[in-house]
Amino acid sequence: MSKRGKANMDVSLDTVYNPFHGPTNLPGPPNESEEQRTRREQESQDAQSISREIDEHLLETKKILERRRRAIKMLLLGQAESGKSTLLKNFQLVFTPIQFQKERGVWKRIVQLNLIKSSSTLYKVNGAQTTEASTSLRKEHRLLYLRLSPLLVYETSFNDILSINPEARDICVRAGSGWKSTLSGKLPRSSDDGLGGRDLLIKSDPTQVLEASADDILSLWADPAVQDVLRWREIRLQDYSGFFLDDVSRVTMKDYVPTESDIVRARIRTIGVEEHHFVAESGRSLGTEKGSEFFIADVGGSRSSRSSWIPYFDDVDAILFLAPLAFNLSLEEDPRVNRLEDSLQLWRMICENKLLANCALILFLNKKDILVKTLASGVSVKRYVTSYNDPNDAPHVTKYFKDRFKSYHRKLSLCPRPFISYETSAIDTRGTQSVVLAVHDSIIRRNFARSHLI
């Protein structure tokens, strides 16, 4: 095409009427009335306004997608009570400590609710017995139970506020329910932001009742008859997440402020998939500077929710897989299934998944502190795992299960990839934070290597 022809084409394109762009005062059709002209120009202006809004929305969407592309994306996987939420809190502690501190008031309420929930369990478990021993126990403790009954009122209040199933063992909230905002709106307002000092007595604030009930809770928990009933029913509250019965004197104080360890130990179970977005408040490690972004999906751990994990697989940098070393426990939702065997089955499924062939898999053999206590109490691994023949101590037991995970990783992975594992106790904040930094650095190095930057 000649330059002259191209120029003519350019001119003709520029003069074509486009209702979405260009000036609004272009000549209208012949014999156009004043009313028609006004309406036409208004419609043109409206169309341009809509077009600009669409362009701005597309530009903003592009920016969001670009930010997400550059962010570190992780998926937390594991069965219920494997420690996913606890690990997530440790990530917050490392990369967003200021925001973490701002949420202390909310976590104070959760710690209090955990204590109330445990006290309620003591109350209900012992009150439900019908044996001769429990009959005398009820007579002996009737007055004690009566004095603790106001705590049940606060448990009901929390259940209503957070829409919690009162029959559930854990405090369960639905993903996306905004439970932190809900609790924040129920916190007392005072000069020290509700973290101590003067508390306003409102419906959702159990501080005064807990303070008044402290001695009764301690008496009930320490009572030999109560402990006998718990043993008879094979209930070990101290192995549950959110256990604060050994901290009653401290947690029930009026000016109680939760420590970092308390917040990490606090238990609230999320049902469903919830994505958390963090913006690093400072540079803590390789490749991270202030403003670096993280997207971490915390997936509900129940067996029925596992099909919902698939959409979160396509663009993650790493999957953090938590396997609690609970060789002697079964799943709450299916008592026939051993928890560790369930973790191995889930690990096999992840290793052989085609969508994850190029994804980094990082294994956390978690709750090693509970493993040590379990073995020290005389529980034999061989009773639950017949293939185990090594000494009944933590180092050998941990190595045995680590080797099993490693074997499946090697055999089932579709592409060669390094086996990365850590032995953790997620409530050990200092140790776990060191692991968090190491995990972050390994992801950054892997991304650099894949981008041929190192």
Q: What CATH number is attached to the domain comprising 299?
A: 3.40.50.300
Res. 2: pLDDT tops 60: no
User: 248 and 285: one domain?
Assistant: no
pLDDT at 198 over 60: no
Tell me how far apart the terminal alpha carbons of the chain are, to the nearest angstrom: 48
Q: Do residues 385 and 327 lie in contact, with contact meaning Cβ atoms separated by under 8 Å?
A: yes
Q: For the chain, what percent of residues have pLDDT higher than 90?
A: 21
Q: Does residue 349 belong to any structural domain of this protein?
A: yes
Kindly provide the residue ranges of all beta strands, DSSP E only, lying in 178-332, ordered along the sequence. 269-271, 274-279, 293-298, 318-324
CA distance 79 to 400: 20
Report CA-CA distances (Å) from 5 to 9, 10, 16.
6, 9, 17
Q: Which of 65, 63, 439, 73 is nearest to 275 (CA)?
A: 73
Of 249, 271, 293, the last residue of a domain is 271
Same domain, 86 and 162: no
Q: Write down the pLDDT at residue 273.
A: 80
The residues near 397 (Cβ < 8 Å, ≥ 6 apart) are 325, 327, 371, 375, 381, 388, 390
CA nearest to 214, candidates 140, 119, 113, 121: 119
294 in the same domain as 193: no
Confidence of residue 452 (pLDDT cuts 50, 70, 90): low
Nearest to 264 by CA among 388, 432, 440: 432
Count CB neighbours of 139 within 10 A: 9
- Has residue 39 been placed in a domain? no
Q: Say if 407 falls within a structural domain.
A: yes
Between 307 and 333, name the one with better pLDDT. 333
As a whole number, mean pLDDT of residues 264-274 equals: 82
Residue 46: the pLDDT is: 85
Query: What is residue 177's predicted lDDT score, i.e. its pLDDT?
Result: 60
What confidence score (pLDDT) does residue 426 get?
A: 60
Most confident listed range (21-35, 43-57, 134-148, 373-387): 373-387
Contact 81, 265 (CB under 8 A): no
Residue ending a domain, among 271, 304, 322, is 271
CB 367 within 8 A of CB 87: no
Q: Are residues 351 and 368 in the same domain?
A: yes
Phi and psi of 31, rounded to 5°?
Answer: 60, 25
The boundaries of the domain holding residue 75 are: 70-96+280-454
Q: d(Cα 324, Cα 80) in Å, to the nearest integer?
A: 10
Which band of pLDDT confidence, cut at 50, 70 and 90, is reported for residue 80?
confident
Say yes or no to pLDDT of 351 above 60: yes
Q: What are phi and psi of 154, to 5 degrees?
A: -70, -35
Q: Is 366 annotated as a binding residue?
A: yes
Q: Is 426 annotated as a binding residue?
A: yes
User: Are residues 265 and 127 both part of a single domain?
Assistant: yes
Task: Let me know if residue 215 belongs to a domain.
Answer: yes
| Confidence at residue 45, expressed as pLDDT on a 0 to 100 scale | 85
Helix (H, G, I), strand (E, B) or coil at 85: helix
pLDDT tens for each residue of 21-73: 455 556 667 787 888 888 888 888 888 889 888 888 888 777 766 666 677 88
- Please give the tally of structural domains in the chain: 2
Give the C-alpha separation, 357 to 342, whole Å. Answer: 21
Q: Where are the alpha helices (DSSP H) in 96-201?
A: 97-102, 104-127, 132-162, 179-184
Going by the DSSP 8-state scheme, the letter that residue 338 receives in this structure is: B
204 and 326 fall within a common domain:
no
**Has residue 48 been placed in a domain?**
no
Residue 236's pLDDT is 82
Do residues 293 and 280 touch, judged by C-beta distance below 8 A? yes
Q: Is 270 annotated as a binding residue?
A: yes
- Of 271, 299, 326, the one marking the end of a domain is 271
The residue ranking higher by pLDDT, 448 or 195, is 448
Query: What residue type is 3 in one-letter code?
Result: K
Q: Is 85 annotated as a binding residue?
A: yes
At residue 392 the predicted structure's pLDDT band, cuts being 50, 70 and 90, is: very high
Structural contact between residues 361 and 420, judged by C-beta atoms closer than 8 angstroms? yes
Closest CA to 224 of 127, 137, 132: 137
**Rounded average pLDDT over 255-269:** 90
Q: Check whether 84 is labelled as a binding-site residue.
A: yes
Structure tokens at 446: 């892997």
Residue 206 covered by a domain: yes
Q: What does the pLDDT read at residue 197?
A: 36
**406 lies in the same domain as 431:** yes
User: What is the CATH classification number for the domain harbouring 252?
Assistant: 1.10.400.10
Identify the pLDDT of residue 9.
Answer: 42
Q: Is 373 annotated to bind ligand? A: no
Selected residue with higher pLDDT from 311 and 391: 391
Question: Does residue 284 sit in the same domain as residue 177?
Answer: no
Q: What's the pLDDT at 333?
A: 77
Q: Which string of b and e fits 84-115 if b means at least 16 CB within 10 Å? A: bbbbbbbbbbbbbeeebeebbbbbbbbbbbbb
Instruction: Please indicate if the annotation marks 334 as binding a ligand.
Output: no
Quick check: 308 pLDDT over 50?
yes
Query: Do 243 and 116 contact (CB within 8 A), yes or no?
Result: no
Looking at the fold, whether 369 and 413 belong to one and the same domain comes out as yes
What is the DSSP code (8-state) at residue 261? H
Sequence-separated (6 or more) residues with CB below 8 Å from residue 246: 238
Percent of the chain with pLDDT over 70: 72
Q: Which amino acid, residue 114?
A: N
Q: Are residues 172 and 262 part of one domain?
A: yes
Judge whether 53 lies within some domain.
Answer: no
Mean pLDDT of 140-155: 77
Q: What angle do CA 394, 398, 399 make, to 5 degrees?
A: 120
Q: Is the dihedral of CA 297, 303, 305, 309 positive or negative?
A: positive
Confidence of residue 454 (pLDDT cuts 50, 70, 90): very low
Q: Are residues 205 and 253 in the same domain?
A: yes
State yes or no: 86 annotated in a binding site: yes
In this structure, the answer to whether residues 218 and 354 fall within a common structural domain is no
Using CA atoms, how far apart are residues 207 and 349, in angstroms rounded to an integer? 46
Residue 190 within a domain: yes
Look at residue 82 and tell me whether its pLDDT is greater than 60: yes
